[in-house]
Amino acid sequence: MARSHLMLAVFLYFCLCMLPSLCQNEETQALIEFKKQLTDPFKYLASWKDFESPCQFFGVSCDPKTGMVIGISLDNKSLSGEISPSIGKLKSLTSLVLPSNLLAGSLPSELNNCVNLRVLNVTGNNMNGTLPDLSKLKRLQILDLSINYFSGAFPAWVGNLTSLVSLGLGDNEFDEGGIPQNLGSLRNLTWLYLAGSHLTGEIPESIFEMKALQTLDICRNKISGNLPTSIGKLSNLNKIELFLNNLTGELPVELANLTLLEEFDISSNQISGTLPPEIGNLKSLKIFHVYKNNFSGKIPSGFGDMHHLIAFSVYKNNFSGEIPENLGRFSPMNSIDMSENKFTGRFPKYLCRRKSLQFFLAVENNFSGELPDSYGSCESLVRFRVCQNNLSGKIPDGFWSLPNVKMIDLSNNHFSGGISTIIRSAASLSQLILSNNRFSGEIPNELGQVSGLEKLYLDKNEFSGRIPAELGDLKQISSLHMEDNSFSGPIPSELARCSRLVELDLASNSLSGSIPSSFSMFLSLNSLNLSGNKLTGSVPTSLEKLKLSSIDMSNNQLSGIIPSDLWTMGGDKAFIGNNRLCIDESTRSIMKSDLSVCYQKTGDKSNFMKRRIVLFYLIVFGLIVVIGGLMLVSYANFRHCEPSLGKKDEKGKGDDSKFRLESFHLMEFDVDEICSLDEDNLIGTGSTGKVYRLDLKKGSGSVAVKKIWKKDAVKVLTAEMEILGMIRHRNILKLYACLINEGSNFLVLEYMANGNLFQALHRQIKGGKPELDWHQRYKIAVGAAKGISYLHHDVSPAVIHRDIKSTNILLDEDYEAKIADFGVARLAEDSNIGSGFSSLTGTHGYIAPEMAYTLKITDKCDVYSFGVVLLELVTGRKPVEDDYGEGKDIVYWVTTHLNNKEETFKVLDRKVVSEDIQEDMIKVLKVATVCTSKLPNLRPSMKEVVKMLIDAQPHKSSVHTGKNEKVDMYT
Ligand SMILES: *[C@@H]1O[C@H](CO)[C@@H](O)[C@H](O)[C@H]1NC(C)=O
Ligand SMILES: *[C@@H]1O[C@H](CO)[C@@H](O)[C@H](O)[C@H]1NC(C)=O
Ligand SMILES: *[C@@H]1O[C@H](CO)[C@@H](O)[C@H](O)[C@H]1NC(C)=O
């Protein structure tokens, strides 16, 4: 009975389904199911309703004859969620286009049922998992799966999709491996995008059989071998992108057969040899990038009569000879970079003929002669850097007033002549670098009208005359270098109006008169050099107000008493060579000095200094008492490591089995356990010792045991015990106990299940997702900030950690951050006293810039280092990476990306950013940039940092509120 009902139902279903209009019901259901799996914040899918014809649905198209769904197109609609397998029910589907959304999850294998599919485009989503074999979809013409997180083996089955015209698989997380040989069967392919997908090995020969190919993009992989001659067979190519690979060998002449080639980028490989002269016949070329290779020889003269060339970059090679004279004569050249080669001869004079040149870089070559006159009318120029060449002669007049130029760097050449008064019209100029040339004459007053000027380097030239008072109008200037010239006359007191000045160097001139007392208004000044002049009068006491970290007034004719704070900062060497300067007797008792002593009544000042000294001794005395006391206490508690401890004896750690145990927290464990550490449980090696995990016998969980290197033991133990022993804070690692004997020293610490922040940031969970999403990172940032803020502001005396970095921030099982490793920490009070007390510590990439010229440790050093940690959280990058450039770090790298919104978004960690949190990440990026201000006094205190971070809390509900908010990094 029931069975016959069922049969009837099945029969009816089949009958009815012969009529397309009823079948639509099934398609509607499939689409409703598809919608259910998605989050659609902007309600694009509002029209997708039950009992409606799917042909009315937004983004859905139907076959006009059959009424069946043939296309779904939802491009850039902020959709998240996953693609439902119900998609497989749309039997007539020919096109599924869902690019630039936030789709996650894997690609459903049910797509194989859509046998009519011609276009599948899901580029730019967050999809992951391994790809299903889609080789049954024989009609596919466009397959774009690029820019996702797909993993597993590189899909070799695509070689069977012989109808393909466009194939994008790049920027995924495929396993490392070669390009499949069978890709060459795709004879209709015009577009191949395999960038950034962990490809290794050589380009298979079969690739060069894809005669229709127009775009070959395999950049950012590990492709090796050379570019074979068969590249010449791909005569339809207009774009070759092979930059950032390991290509070697020489370029084949056959490249010249590619007469349609418009873009050629093989930069950042190890290709050598010369450029075949025939390349000069590639008359369609627009972009030619071969920088960072080992090329030598000349640039083919054919580059001089290209009509479309707009970008030419050959920096960091060994090219030599002259640049083709006609380069840029017939094309709208926009940017040229010839830096770091051995080019000789003159600059090409027609380069700016079409008035489109914006970027001209020719740093570090052997170019000679004058700048061509025509450059003086190159109004499009934005950046002009030709430092370190043999250039000479005068600068063409108009050059000084180019309206768009932001940076002019002519340093380290032999240029002569003066600066023209028309410089007042250089409306965009922010950096003028003329150092080390033969420029002469007076500085025009009009230079003071270049209101955007930030850096002015006139040093090591033959300038003379007075320093114009008008320079005081440069409100934006931060670096003013005028040293090693022949300036004379007084230092204008108006200079003090440059309120953003950070560096002022007027050394080695013939300046006379006194030091303006107005200089005490320089609130941002960091270093001041007035040495080697003819300055007279006294050193203004008001300068003590400045927060300088470098000062030099040596070799002048100054007289009178040196303000003691200036002397303690600069030392003798900042004042020697001034016969009539002297130093207060009581000041001198702090540090040895060769300066003469002033015989006069000591005033309030010296009393203040005396108080400081007394304080110093008090602190030292206090420390001795504390440490002594601790040792006494611990001696009273001493216990024996039982002789029966086999392991310890085996390792021959000596006979001295007496351990002193100092407990700081209530914690039950046996000394024996600590003594028998197992190398298998090593969890880390820090700067001061090895750390082991120890699972306690009494079932009270695990602890971490740090075995301190012998040589550092006393210093480290003192620091760690003293600081950690007195601190209780949820964001600071707990010290449970301390064991001391002659041979080994152990600290027993809280065990952190998730290791350190650095590891966690670079760990991935399955599918290539990072372990820490933005919410977790944010929580860690706040926790760590609270911990450091507590050290700086809530314990007394305050503690400066001195080695804040992501490896010293540990994470417990709930990812709560705990500050660890106090091995080099200092109590704030001892940090000012003499340089002998503090050695340079910290970790490369985290050290505040002022540490290069001062050993004065302030809490602002920790703020800087914490700023670096914030940058790690926001960018997912390491503090030091090769691609920041030599000697550059993450702080530098980030600041080069803050010019506009577009660029700024690029620094955000691509693995965690999404549209709804990017504004939140930008807020934390802003905090990071103020923390890493070059000037210590522009950095906020940790208390302020905590407050700013709390204001930057991610709002889960603010999915689209932030959309139109402007990112103004520089206001
Ligand atoms: C591709 O097609 C060939 C023959 O047509 C077949 O032998 C092979 O298994 C297919 N490869 C894949 C990965 O489907
Ligand atoms: C996929 O869609 C994106 C966004 O519309 C587009 O830029 C890209 O060219 C498409 N891919 C192919 C291969 O057509
Ligand atoms: C894909 O990502 C989701 C969510 O981001 C995650 O839960 C899942 O485990 C990942 N799948 C794979 C196979 O990596």
The catalytically annotated residue of 265, 459, 473, 803 is 803
- Give the closest ligand to the alpha carbon of residue 215: 2
For residue range 639-684, what is the model confidence (pLDDT) as tens digits?
Answer: 322 222 223 333 333 333 445 555 555 456 666 777 777 777 887 7
Strands in 341-459 per DSSP E: 342-345, 359-361, 366-369, 383-385, 390-393, 407-409, 414-417, 431-433, 438-441, 455-457
Report pLDDT for 743.
61
Mean pLDDT of 154-161: 95
C-alpha to C-alpha distances, 434 to 360, 418, 489, 529, nearest whole angstrom: 16, 11, 22, 19
- The residue that leads in pLDDT, 617 or 924, is 924
Q: Which residues contact 790 (CB under 8 A, 6 or more apart)?
A: 727, 729, 731, 732
C-alpha to C-alpha distances, 887 to 29, 488, 844, 932, nearest whole angstrom: 60, 37, 10, 17
Contact 438, 416 (CB under 8 A): yes
**Separation between Cα atoms, residue 819 and residue 812, nearest integer Å:** 11
Confidence of residue 915 (pLDDT cuts 50, 70, 90): confident
Concerning whether 803 is annotated as a catalytic residue, the answer is yes
Which residues on adjacent β-strands are paired with residue 514? 536
Confidence of residue 630 (pLDDT cuts 50, 70, 90): very low
The overall longest dimension of the chain from CA atoms, in Å, is 123
- Going by C-alpha positions, the residue among 806, 938, 811, 819 that lies closest to residue 874 is 806
Where does 757-951 sit in CATH, by number?
A: 1.10.510.10
- The residue that leads in pLDDT, 24 or 416, is 416
Which residue, judged by its Cα, is nearest atom 10 of ligand 3?
A: 767
C-alpha 99 to ligand 2 mean position (Å): 7
Residue 396: is its pLDDT beyond 70?
A: yes
Report pLDDT for 565.
81
- The residue that leads in pLDDT, 268 or 647, is 268
**Separation between Cα atoms, residue 329 and residue 301, nearest integer Å:** 12
Mean pLDDT of 537-544: 92
List % helix, strand, coil for the chain (3-state, nearest 5): 30, 20, 50
C-alpha 129 to ligand 3 mean position (Å): 7
For residue range 790-836, what is the model confidence (pLDDT) as tens digits?
Answer: 888 877 778 888 889 998 999 998 899 999 887 777 665 544 333 32
For ligand 1, whether the C-beta of 135 sits within 6 Å is: yes
Choose from 5-19, 531-545, 649-663 the range with maximum mean pLDDT. 531-545
Mutate which of 80, 103, 128, 913 for ligand 3 pocket (most atoms within 8 A of beta carbon): 128
Residue 699 CB neighbour total at 10 angstroms: 7
Mutate which of 112, 130, 134, 160 for ligand 1 pocket (most atoms within 8 A of beta carbon): 160
- Going by C-alpha positions, the residue among 210, 218, 219, 204 that lies closest to residue 237 is 210
Report pLDDT for 689.
73
Report pLDDT for 668.
60
Residue 310: is its pLDDT beyond 50?
A: yes
Report pLDDT for 702.
82
Grouping H, G, I as helix, E, B as strand and the rest as coil, residue 527 is strand
Which residue, judged by its Cα, is nearest atom 2 of ligand 1?
A: 160
Confidence of residue 202 (pLDDT cuts 50, 70, 90): very high
DSSP letters along 27-63, please?
A: HHHHHHHHHHTEE-TT-GGGG--TTS-GGGSTTEEE-
Q: Which of 223-227, 590-594, 660-664, 729-733 is predicted least confidently?
A: 660-664
Q: Rg of the Cα trace of the chain? A: 35
Grouping H, G, I as helix, E, B as strand and the rest as coil, residue 806 is helix
Mean pLDDT of 387-391: 97
**Separation between Cα atoms, residue 18 and residue 7, nearest integer Å:** 17
Q: Does the domain spanning 641-750 belong to CATH 3.30.200.20?
A: yes
CA 212 to chain centre: 40
Q: Which atom of ligand 1 is nearest to the CA of 182?
A: 1
Contact 534, 555 (CB under 8 A): no
For residue range 106-154, what is the model confidence (pLDDT) as tens digits?
Answer: 999 999 999 999 999 999 898 999 999 999 999 999 999 999 999 999 9
For residue range 752-773, what is the model confidence (pLDDT) as tens digits?
Answer: 888 899 989 988 776 667 889 9
Q: Give the domain ranges of the chain.
A: 641-750, 757-951
Mean pLDDT of 19-48: 84
The secondary structure of residue 860, as a DSSP letter, is H
Would the annotation count 707 as a binding residue?
yes
**Separation between Cα atoms, residue 607 and residue 594, nearest integer Å:** 22
Grouping H, G, I as helix, E, B as strand and the rest as coil, residue 466 is coil
Pocket of ligand 2 (CB under 6 A): 75, 99-100, 121, 123, 142, 144, 166, 168, 191
**Which helix (H) or strand (E) element contains residue 874?**
helix 859-875
**Separation between Cα atoms, residue 162 and residue 726, nearest integer Å:** 72
Same fold, 641-750 and 757-951: no
**Amino acid at the residue 12:** L
- Going by C-alpha positions, the residue among 312, 315, 351, 357 that lies closest to residue 334 is 357
For residue range 159-197, what is the model confidence (pLDDT) as tens digits?
Answer: 999 999 999 999 999 999 999 999 999 999 999 999 999
Which residue, judged by its Cα, is nearest atom 9 of ligand 1?
A: 157
Report pLDDT for 127.
94
Half-sphere exposure for 361 (CA within 13 Å, toward CB) = 17
Question: 3-class secondary structure for 255-269?
Answer: HHHCCCCCEEECCCC
Residue 2: is its pLDDT beyond 60?
A: no
